[in-house]
Amino acid sequence: MGKMHCQKKNRKPSVLKSLRQKLVVVNPTTDDEKRQMMNLIVEHRSEFPLKLREAISEAVNETPTIEIQPDEFLSRLFGAVEAYFFGQRRDRDNDDENDGQGEDEPDSESSPLHWWHGPNSDIDTEEEVELAIRFFPQILTRKLHTSPLSSLNDCYPVYMLLMCSKALAFIPLLAELGRELGKFEEEERYGLTCFMKNIIVHLVAQDISRDDPDQEHLDETIASILTRLKEKRFIHSSDIYNHELVFMLLNRSRRYKKLRTKRRLRFLINLDPSILEECGRGFGLLRLHLLMVRFPRTLCDALQKYEMMIELGMAHYPKELGFLFHPLSYRLACDIFGGETIAEIAETALAKYQSQNNNNSSGSSSSSETKHTLQTLLFAAATNDEISLEGLYTLVRRDPIALMLQTSSGK
């Protein structure tokens, strides 16, 4: 117990809290300030990302018999930080043109990510990455200088994170720090919506990543990133229409069968449920999805998306029966997936909606409440010209007694 207490007592205090409270000078001008910053970095090197720990140690140990000067140390470390956030090797040849990834390390060519030398969520934590940025906040607005013909030329570090699936998770952090530290122009939205380099668009489209991770896991990761950006108000519902995000996502799914995008689609629907009714193409999302299902190889994924749209449609537009029975969409769905399959989906969606609606209203489900919910849906369907007779038949088949009670009561 005494040994453990001693270890805890001797443990170095975290410097990140002091940086957050702006108690540390990170833009030193005097020699004393520069030396203090250097000493602080060296003392807390274990709290930096792994690759930057190596850079700090190398700078200190390279000339052990000669005291390193603060100017030289900070300059070298800033170069390492810059290379790190652009995913480059620190020892790359500056005369060689590169695309932002640097050259491969000979001793790591067996690794699937041997080309990426930046933030990695398998190795680095958000606190470690945040520490590096707070010591060198100017890194956020540094721009990559590569071939003028490269799409990466003049991009910010936050954009470079799109290149590697293991770096994506740090995008919200860089945007949050960009806002807090007062970086970027207003129209750049903290680096997320720069001209021709819109990170929100690329997250949805998943079209510039260099590696090939598990698609289900990647879809989940990107959806969680989008959710975090939404919580911080970095994403607006207007983005869906301004950049045709829904159409782009569905089109990418249709063209690349290995992609999994269901969670991203769910995110967009929840961001603005009105796209279920009008998605910017003159009709609803369900119909657009069905019109874009053309190849048999995509039917399994397409059917999963269809079921999700019906589920969310029932949640947000119950009086439209989730747009399931709108004549054109219904016939198209039956032609593509088969009438029996669509009937099963309809039964499942209606049962789930009734159960959730009853539980939300009273905390428990009962037979009378279920009938009341069904009666409400029946009345809505009967007075809606956009719902086909098949929709009414489906509701009646679920519980003919409910209809009898509705008519016998004079309603």
Q: What whole-number distance in Å separates Cα of residue 324 and Cα of residue 342?
A: 9
Q: Note the pLDDT tens digit of each residue in 307-331.
A: 999 999 999 999 999 999 998 899 9
What's residue 133's pLDDT? 98
Q: Is the pLDDT of residue 360 over 70?
A: no
The whole-angstrom separation of Cα 201 and Cα 204 is: 5
pTM of the model as a whole: 0.85
The ranges assigned to domains in the chain are: 325-411
Residue carrying the six token digits 């390193």: 68
The span from the CA of 337 to the CA of 236, in Å, is: 34
What is the C-alpha to C-alpha distance for residues 268 and 279, in angstroms, rounded to an integer?
11
CA distance 309 to 249: 14
Whether 224 shows a pLDDT value over 90: the answer reads: yes
Is 50 exceeded by the pLDDT of residue 411?
no
* Gyration radius of the chain over CA positions: 28
Q: pLDDT digits over 157-188, tens only?
A: 999 999 999 999 999 999 999 999 988 888 89
By mean pLDDT, which of 33-42, 69-78, 301-310, 373-382 is the weakest?
373-382
Residue 197 bridge partners (DSSP):
194
- On whether the CB atoms of residues 249 and 279 are closer than 8 A, the answer is no
Please give the single-letter amino acid code of residue 252.
R
Structure confidence by residue, pLDDT tens digits, 9-18? 455 568 999 9
The dihedral built from the CA positions of residue 321, 322, 324 and 326, taken in this order, carries a sign that is positive
Q: Are 320 and 387 in contact (CB under 8 A)?
A: yes
